Amino acid sequence: MKINWNYIKTFLLIGVVFFLFAFAEKRNHARVLSEVNLHFTNSENLYLTEEAVNKLLIQNEVRPRSIGKETLDLSRVEALLESHDMVENAEVFLTVDGKMGASITQRQPLARVMASAPFYLDRQGLMMPLSQYHSARVPLVTGVKEEQLKELHPLMAFINEDEFLTRHVTGINRQPNGKYELYLRQLDFAVVFGEVKDIELKFKNFKAFYQKALKDKKLDAYKKVDLQFGNQVVCTKK
């Protein structure tokens, strides 16, 4: 009987491939996570640190060096990270070499609200506690209560998106009648903004006034600039 060595070699090769695949699969499932790689998507201002994140994970029994890949609940870790006061969004993933990665988006403050316990207003219009690691350079807001944050948010969001206003507006005060005044960097007059409506029109008018007064070198001549009258800017001289 003639032995067909080609068939035997083929079967042996298939057997070796299956063995290596099964061995690699078993080894991969038995592997424990070696470390956590954190990435902050808006890392220019760190309102929390890698150390704080790792401490949060450890306190909730997420220890990468002792957890197998097959036992890690990524959704739970994401929810845990997003429960932190400084985190807006978290995405957790595993790499093929046994590492857990987390991409963290921090909350972004738009204003610092002065109250008995000061806090930030974030870009989602929610209260955000102050951070022990970094102090945001945002306008200081007075006269606003927690229930008025929804009213304030559109004004702060517009200022935050405008380079000119971000550079110049340093303070905002809400008066008892619900009207707002703005205070500008290195300028000695208050801007009466009024109620939070017609935001784009009011700031368009103010920018036109500012450029004209700057050109005429008259910015120091006024003590109040009122934006409440449609297309007009009403100025009160000193």
What letter would DSSP give residue 210? H
- Residue 94 is predicted with a pLDDT of 78
Ranges of the chain whose pLDDT falls below 50: 1, 16-17, 19-34, 65-68, 71
- Residue 15 is predicted with a pLDDT of 52
What distances in angstroms separate CA 216 from CA 63, 209, 212, 231, one per listed residue? 65, 11, 6, 20
- Residue 46 is predicted with a pLDDT of 82
- Residue 58 is predicted with a pLDDT of 76
- Residue 16 is predicted with a pLDDT of 45
- Domain boundaries along the sequence of the chain: 32-106, 109-237
- Residue 216 is predicted with a pLDDT of 93
CATH number of this structure's domain 109-237: 3.40.50.11690
Digit-coded pLDDT (tens) for 175-190: 999 999 999 998 889 9
- Any idea which architecture 32-106 has in CATH? Roll (3.10)
**CB-based contact 237:221 (threshold 8 Å):** yes
- Residue 31 is predicted with a pLDDT of 39
Phi, then psi, of 91 in degrees rounded to 5: -125, 120
Task: Answer whether 32-106 and 109-237 agree in fold.
Answer: no
What distances in angstroms separate CA 159 from CA 6, 155, 167, one per listed residue? 77, 6, 9
Digit-coded pLDDT (tens) for 102-136: 889 999 999 999 999 999 999 999 999 999 989 99
